[in-house]
Amino acid sequence: MKVLVIGSGGREHALAWKLSQSKSCTKIYVAPGNAGTAEEPKTENVDLKAEDIEGLLSFAKSQEIDLTIVGPEAPLVLGLIDLFEENNLLCLGPNKLAAQMEGSKIFMKDILEKGNIPTAAYKVFSDHELAKKFLENCEIPIVLKADGLAGGKGVIVAFSREEAFEALNSLMVEKKLGNAGNNLVIEEFLKGEEASFIVLCDGKNIIPLASSQDHKQRDDNDKGPNTGGMGAFSPTPLITEELNKKILDEIIKPTLDELNRRNIEYKGFLYAGLMIDKEVIKVLEYNCRFGDPETQPILMRMKSDFLDLCFKAAKAELNNLSIEWHEKVALGVVMASKGYPEKYETGFPISGIFEETSSAKVFHCGTKKESNQICSDGGRVLCVTGLGSDLNDAYDEAYKATSKINWDGAFYRKDIGKRKK
Ligand code: AMP
Ligand code: GLY
């Protein structure tokens, strides 16, 4: 089977790596990929951007691709799946309407509200004066969310009223995020610990993947600005078997039921960002894709044939399937460029990247090869993932490997998986 993976991050490297292990996989193209995907067996990079959906369509047709798997949200929100399906190409990912679960916070909150799914109380604003009035009297902290896609910059948690006014000003008056800030969700601040719960859907059936936890802040002890994710591990002890069932019954299934009521079919990975406060679980966000960096530790633990799963999900044949997992714990540490998540420089040669071992694997995020040398090429550069008998062991494996790697300006958190309760 010939597979096309769309995207260029650590998630896509992990997808390609796991797909390549499948016997039925003959070839993987990654568009545009990175220096890591270029090195995987059966895998080749294609110089097409993830948002170039017409270019990707021509490529998939000309190469007679059997299955296309989409990593990032942007091509999904642009309607890549609709375009591919109109052209009779099999693919895995939600269509344009279903991708609104991530493409529009207002749409997502409305699904949650109408489906009676627990989430933070919220109001929608499209008028600056009304939003300002609301912020004058609301409880603090308060959370402001730009409605549209904003590359991870659209959510501001304001811990003072001044910060809330500043955030409102930058989104609605200065338009720092362009049209994404025309409409805002302003919502209640939730306390607790965050976990990621990702499921694979085929339009009718749902299979939960292993649970995981991300670390969104840049610095140790969850300090510093929000990022795309600085490290993740799987499974998380936060989600017990009992909670797993509760999340499926009270959150995931009612969400898909509400989408179905609107005649929206959801196919692909659905990512619920949850806030867990003892027994109370509320939805913080939905993403219409697999998580990054969650994919890296999750796929390190998968025993099942991943291509078979993706193929069956795309064909709506997930009924009666389940996924087998290694008992072990996997933990990924993101190595980033100095300055990330704001301005950073790229192009620095990376030393110390090693061959995969049975207990560690370096997934590339933003890298490229220049005159035979792997160089940094993004904010998040590598995700070094370790596999161990428990969380401490996985931590040791991941950090032992991380400490061997370096480039000018590399930094990483030292406390992935060590969050104090
Ligand atoms: P989102 O893109 O919606 O996941 O938001 C990014 C991050 O902001 C989340 O991972 C949380 O850490 C934080 N966040 C979002 N919504 C809330 C909320 N209602 N209460 C507390 N923190 C939140
Ligand atoms: N790890 C967070 C995300 O994928 O959005």
Give the tens place of pLDDT for each residue, 311-360: 999 999 999 899 999 999 999 999 999 999 999 999 999 999 989 999 99
User: 34-49: per-residue pLDDT in tens?
Assistant: 999 999 999 999 999 9
Residue nearest to atom 3 of ligand 2 (CA): 291
Of 85, 90, 86, nearest in space to 64 by CA: 90
Q: If you average pLDDT over every residue of the chain, what do you get?
A: 97
Show me where the domains of the chain are located.
2-93, 127-182, 193-314, 329-411
pLDDT, residue 383, reads: 98
Residue 88 has pLDDT above 80, yes or no: yes
pLDDT over 90 percentage in the chain = 96
Three-state SS at 306 = helix
Q: Give the nearest ligand 1 atom to 189 CA.
A: 20
pTM, entire model: 0.97
Residue nearest to atom 1 of ligand 1 (CA): 285
Ligand 2 pocket test target in 198, 209, 214 with most atoms within 8 Å of CB: 214
User: 204-229: per-residue pLDDT in tens?
Assistant: 999 999 999 999 999 999 999 889 99
Provide mean pLDDT across the span 190-201. Answer: 97
Query: Residue 125 pairs with which residues in a beta bridge?
Result: 184
Cβ–ligand 1 contact at 216 (below 6 Å): yes
Residue 420 has pLDDT above 90, yes or no: no
Cβ–ligand 1 contact at 155 (below 6 Å): yes
Could you tell me the pLDDT band of residue 419, with boundaries at 50, 70 and 90? Answer: confident
The CATH fold assigned to 127-182 is Dna Ligase; domain 1 (3.30.1490)
Ligand 2 binding site (Cβ under 6 Å of any ligand atom): 214, 229, 287, 291-292, 294
Which of the listed CATH numbers 3.40.605.10, 3.30.505.10, 3.40.50.720, 3.40.50.20 matches domain 2-93? 3.40.50.20
> How many other CB atoms sit within 10 Å of the CB of residue 322?
10
Distance CA 231, CA 150 (A): 21
- Angle formed by the axes of helices 306-314 and 10-20, to 10°? 100
Residue 421 has pLDDT above 70, yes or no: no
Strands 2-7, 27-32: pairing is: parallel
Provide mean pLDDT across the span 285-295. Answer: 98
Domain spanning 329-411, CATH class: alpha beta
Distance of CA 284 from the midpoint of ligand 1 (Å): 6
Rounded to the nearest 5°, which phi and psi values hold at 20? -65, -20
Could you tell me the pLDDT band of residue 152, with boundaries at 50, 70 and 90? Answer: confident
Cβ–ligand 1 contact at 195 (below 6 Å): no
Residue range 193-314, CATH number: 3.30.470.20
